[in-house]
Structure 1
Amino acid sequence: MWRIILFSIAFFITSSASSEQLFITTEEYPPYNTRGTDGQPRGVYMDQLKIIFARAKVDYDATVTPWARAIALAESKPMHCVVAAARTPEREAQFKWVSPVHTDRNVLVGLRERNLKIKNLDEAKDYLIGTQRNDYTQSVLKSLGFTHIDLSADFDKTLSKLAAGRIDLMPMSESALRKLPGASFQEVVVLTNQSLGMACNRSVPDELISRMQVTLDALIADGTQRKIYEKYGLVIRQ
């Protein structure tokens, strides 16, 4: 009998611990996310998350995948989170949030050689805009009345289309633009200001979300988050 009880207790403890394992999905979006030689995500976001998970004592597994799949997993699979997702009103109730891991301007970018003269977003609606399928910018563009939208699986494919002249403009963060060759690409017009965070499936326990949020708040307060951005030559807006 005692063996059965002890086995049950051990099983309960093991199950409770494993139930707090998070499955993190993200996309290839340098310098915020890049795929290391081991296939694991690296960059600004994961540097923050590794500290959060270590301090909050959270076990995790992280993978890089196209954005549409990354956010779909967080929406549908228990204990899955996606980073970094824009915290928009439309998404607020779909996920539980740990944020902000990133606050930045999102701008429409074009080829410098074309030197597009666009004064505002209304004028930009006449051009073909490329973005990633299920990225928040797709919803933003539609909500602003853009109708000429070309969708790709990920950031790199959209950027390749822009470089090849297959699309006219694409949205990206201001900091991501700074990492691109200045002779090739330029900001054309501001699209939006946006806060991004880790968006987790509704199954993730509130206590775990709270623990991670408290840790992130501490990283912001003590300047750790800012130092991570500076390490990559980036500036974070707060």
Structure 2
Amino acid sequence: MPVILKLLTAVFFTCLSLTAYGEKLRIVTEPWAPYVYDDNGSMRGLDYETTVIVFQRLGVDVEWQFLPWKRCLAMLEQGHADGALDIFHSHERDALLLYPSEPLSNVEFVLFYANDRPHPAETLDDLRGLTVGNSPGYLYGDTFSDSTLFNREPAPSHEANFGKLSLGRVDLVITDRRVGQHVIKAMGLEGKVSQAPIVISRQPQFLAVRRGAGMDLLVQRFAAELKRFKQEPAYAALSAKYGGIQAITASEHTVEQQESSAP
């Protein structure tokens, strides 16, 4: 039997096993606009809509659930979820998760500060003695996570972090540049919050699944179809749709732009 036929046959039975008796692939994620978010009861976002299209082409039914990120990770570890959307690769998670070779998108972690309490940090040393609002379970890079120069204070959501920033309960907030811009606009904080020059880290994010029978073949097919979809006009239109939101957001408030080598 040709290799490609063996692969397609294995993928077929993997997908069949997922849908047998009405079972679906259970994917968890945290609202992470504009990558994935709830828009008045409808799930939207660049990475969410891309993933939906790819799984439709693979014939895999998906059940989605929004949860705080720390809860998402717990669901994966306990076997209550089959995968997570927009997760970073971590060698510590390799024993649990499989990652496609093709990422969905790339993240650029930056810092935001309140204009009436400016902290335009250019290096980590500029954070000495300050408190940075963060999100539990997120991987910001070892340099940031291992530093003892500053304090970290978690919050249950990105909106909560920016709310604490507005109230002066934290000095800065760390999050993805595009996510921060989206939250600033949604909360009406334009002109009140700015982005610091420092870029903490840049890293790709994936749709990862728990290790299991046939899952390695599923992620191979997912990666191949994702890569194919990215070359199509439909993906260009989808990217422009959410890229347009990002461009409008960036131009409407005083966030200092930092060019990314990723996306």
**Counterpart in 1 of 2:17?**
16
CA distance in 2 between counterparts of 1:13 and 1:214 reads 16
- The change in CA–CA distance for 1:22 and 1:139 in structure 2 (over 3 A counts) is farther
CA distance in 2 between counterparts of 1:225 and 1:170 reads 31
The partner residue of 1:198 within 207, 216, 219 is: 207
1:125-164 alignment, distance < 5 Å: 125-137=128-140, 141-145=144-148, 147-164=150-167
**Counterpart in 2 of 1:4?**
none
- Does the aligned pair in 1 maintain the 2:18–2:60 contact within 8 Å? no
The partner residue of 1:210 within 211, 220, 233 is: 220
Unmatched runs of 5 consecutive residues or more in structure 2? 1-12, 248-259
**Counterpart in 1 of 2:8?**
none
Letter in structure 2 aligned against 1:202: R
CA distance in 2 between counterparts of 1:14 and 1:97 reads 17
The partner residue of 2:56 within 54, 77, 86 is: 54
**Counterpart in 2 of 1:37?**
40
**Could you tell me how far 1:79 is from its partner in structure 2?**
5.5
1:56-75 alignment, distance < 5 Å: 56-75=58-77
**Could you tell me how far 1:69 is from its partner in structure 2?**
0.7
- TM-align CA RMSD: 2.8
- Does the aligned pair in 2 maintain the 1:132–1:138 contact within 8 Å? no
- The change in CA–CA distance for 1:166 and 1:33 in structure 2 (over 3 A counts) is same
Letter in structure 1 aligned against 2:174: P
The partner residue of 2:193 within 180, 185, 210 is: 185
- The change in CA–CA distance for 1:125 and 1:90 in structure 2 (over 3 A counts) is farther
The partner residue of 2:31 within 18, 28, 31 is: 28
**Could you tell me how far 1:211 is from its partner in structure 2?**
1.1
CA distance in 1 between counterparts of 2:95 and 2:15 reads 31
User: How high is the sequence identity, in percent, across the aligned residues?
Assistant: 21
**Could you tell me how far 1:192 is from its partner in structure 2?**
0.6
- The change in CA–CA distance for 1:175 and 1:57 in structure 2 (over 3 A counts) is same
- The change in CA–CA distance for 1:37 and 1:67 in structure 2 (over 3 A counts) is same
**Could you tell me how far 1:15 is from its partner in structure 2?**
7.0
- The change in CA–CA distance for 1:13 and 1:172 in structure 2 (over 3 A counts) is closer
Deviation by residue 1:66-104 (Cα, 9 ceiling, x = unmatched): 111112212331661111112244444441113411113
CA distance in 2 between counterparts of 1:113 and 1:171 reads 18
CA distance in 2 between counterparts of 1:114 and 1:127 reads 12
CA distance in 2 between counterparts of 1:121 and 1:223 reads 41
**Counterpart in 1 of 2:231?**
221
**Could you tell me how far 1:150 is from its partner in structure 2?**
0.4
CA distance in 2 between counterparts of 1:23 and 1:146 reads 40
**Counterpart in 2 of 1:176?**
179
- The change in CA–CA distance for 1:93 and 1:226 in structure 2 (over 3 A counts) is farther
Unmatched runs of 5 consecutive residues or more in structure 1? 1-11
The partner residue of 2:117 within 114, 117, 137 is: 114
TM-score using structure 2 length? 0.75
- The change in CA–CA distance for 1:136 and 1:28 in structure 2 (over 3 A counts) is same
- Does the aligned pair in 2 maintain the 1:111–1:163 contact within 8 Å? yes
- Does the aligned pair in 2 maintain the 1:127–1:148 contact within 8 Å? yes
